[in-house]
A and B are shown apart, each in its own frame.
Chain A
């Protein structure tokens, strides 16, 4: 076995007291490209050393070369299971920098898309925790609804996974009646499927015994490790960026934040499950609110940053000038420095943007929740069996794209 020179084997392993197991970057159970070098005493883990960076694509460097509206496709590829949330987070950050106010209808449409993305991310995570315990059926039943969510994204923006959805100031086109019909179909069909999934898993004796007490973390340690999102809420801290610092009119909606107590895998599963029900309720409220708003508004009136209609570009002078300025990067992006956060499916997704007035950011840093809470993994699995370590890894909902950026 070839020894990797940059990873020093622990002393215990060299003395043959412990075994070193490589849970390598390409492994079906890690759901992403990251490596764990496990030091094991028989079946129990003594230590785990994580190596990340296998899918590092230098987004922060690339973002320093691209105009603001071209950075959205980079944000797609952060947490690629819930790409719309990343896109909206970026648009909200730029809108905050520019002082753009979006109309209510845009906010509600954004909420629908973001909550749909949150549901799809949580259903993958919960389904995958099931798969890792051996229960494949629940995962497949829920994936049917992820397919329906893909169709909804397709109606709005044209893509399914890496959506590049929305523009600075709103959306690129109005939601078609088909998009609303598909959303209604989702709202009608998903509760039944989620109920079936719950019946399979939540009080299933085997699942409960596999996940209870696995990878627990106290609230103090979780906060010290920088946890946010469902993992922190499972540990007992009710911090949700949607409530603490509302954005995109979340203050108009009524929803609760599910909170766990022990922070183990079962609590994380329950928190994500409850969040899916809450998200469904939010989408329902948003659809109802949309009925009372004029249905032709889908972007803010900011011709300096939002591309005008093509027929106007060919006939009107101002539209032509704005189009030229935006595409050639001559728009007046104000200099400024801000940090804006949204509640991603994994936690607080933050954007630290420094603008020097040019066409691309001076510095853009993504505060990626996965990257920050993955550091806690060795502490979570110390002393656990190997199978528990795998379950813990999948219940943390690590998405490799967000880990590395």
Chain B
């Protein structure tokens, strides 16, 4: 029996009921939202279940929605089932004031650096991460550059001569 989006949704709703919301299928990829407290439970269920077998973390990233007050930062997990070749997207929304999300490193080793990258750029704090420090930016940086309020260029730089750069 091949794994369809409807079946996955049915199994998830059976297990977690009303907690999971916003089931959508943009471009054929089942996507849903879970509360921040449940992210590990949902992923563990998807991992362990013999029929679902989502045992590969394809991608872990974050998105900033400044207009959604109280749920500005989204952590997006893309899971994959090798046998049935099915992808799944899980989103967790956290407020920017307290952006704590449980780390997925115990379940997937690949989450380690991907969570560090999300911390580095968005400031999402992964509770329980073995080494949560910046990965691509300098350690001395005090802000989170991919958030929408930060401009593309660093306004505090004094070494760039605007005349030479055609401004």
Contacts and interface: CB of A to CB of B under 8 A. Distances in A.
Same complex: yes
B129 interface: no
A28 B145 CA distance: 32
Contacts of A224: 108-110
A310 interface: no
Contact of A339 (B78, B133, B152): B78
Contacts of A127: none
Nearest to B91: A337
A336 B26 contact: yes
Going nearest first, the 9 A-B pairs with the smallest beta carbon separation are A226-B110, A53-B136, A56-B136, A367-B59, A6-B139, A338-B27, A365-B61, A244-B85, A225-B109
Contacts of B135: 52-53
Contacts of B78: 339, 350, 352, 367
Interface string B1-29: 00000000000000000000000001101
Contact of B110 (A58, A363, A375): A375
Nearest to B133: A6
B85 A245 contact: yes
Nearest to B107: A224
Contacts of A365: 59, 61
B8 to A, nearest CB: 16
Nearest to A227: B110
Contacts of B76: 352
Interface in B25-80: 26-27, 29, 31, 55-59, 61, 63, 76, 78
Given A53-B135, A58-B145, A371 B26 contact: no
A96 interface: yes
Interface of B: 26-27, 29, 31, 55-59, 61, 63, 76, 78, 82, 85, 87, 89, 108-110, 112-114, 117, 121, 133-139, 145-146, 152
Interface string A332-374: 0000111101000000101010100000001101010001111
Interface stretch (A59-67, A300-308, A312-320): A59-67
B108 A363 contact: no
B110 to A, nearest CB: 3
B61 A352 contact: yes
B109 A376 contact: yes
Interface in A43-98: 52-53, 56, 58, 60-62, 64-65, 96-97
Interface string A145-183: 000000000000000000000000000000000000000
Given A52-B136, A58-B145, A338-B26, 4 more contacts: A354-B63, A367-B58, A373-B110, A375-B110
A404 interface: yes
Given A53-B137, A336-B26, A223 B56 contact: yes
A402 B69 CA distance: 34
B89 A339 contact: yes
Given A53-B137, A375-B109, A223 B58 contact: no
Interface range on chain A (Cβ under 8 Å from partner) = 35 or more
A352 B62 CA distance: 11
A339 B61 contact: no
Most chain A CB neighbours (cut-off 10 Å) among B78, B82, B109, B146: B109
Contact of B27 (A56, A58, A96, A362): A96
Given A53-B137, A226-B57, A339-B59, A372 B114 contact: yes
B63 A363 contact: yes
Given A226-B108, A339-B89, A372-B113, A348 B26 contact: no
Interface string A206-234: 00000000000000010111100000000
Contact of B146 (A61, A96, A221, A239): A61
Nearest to B140: A6
A259 to B, nearest CB: 13
Contacts of B152: 58, 61-62, 64-65
Q: Residue among A64, A239, A339, A367 with the most chain B CB within 10 A? A: A339
A65 B63 CA distance: 15
A265 interface: no
A338 B29 contact: yes
B59 A352 contact: yes
A25 to B, nearest CB: 13
28 contacts: A6-B133, A53-B136, A53-B138, A60-B121, A60-B146, A61-B146, A62-B152, A65-B152, A96-B27, A223-B55, A225-B109, A225-B110, A226-B108, A226-B109, A239-B82, A244-B85, A245-B85, A337-B26, A337-B27, A338-B26, A339-B59, A339-B78, A339-B87, A352-B59, A354-B63, A367-B58, A371-B113, A404-B136
A279 to B, nearest CB: 22
A6 to B, nearest CB: 4
Contacts of B113: 371-372, 374-375
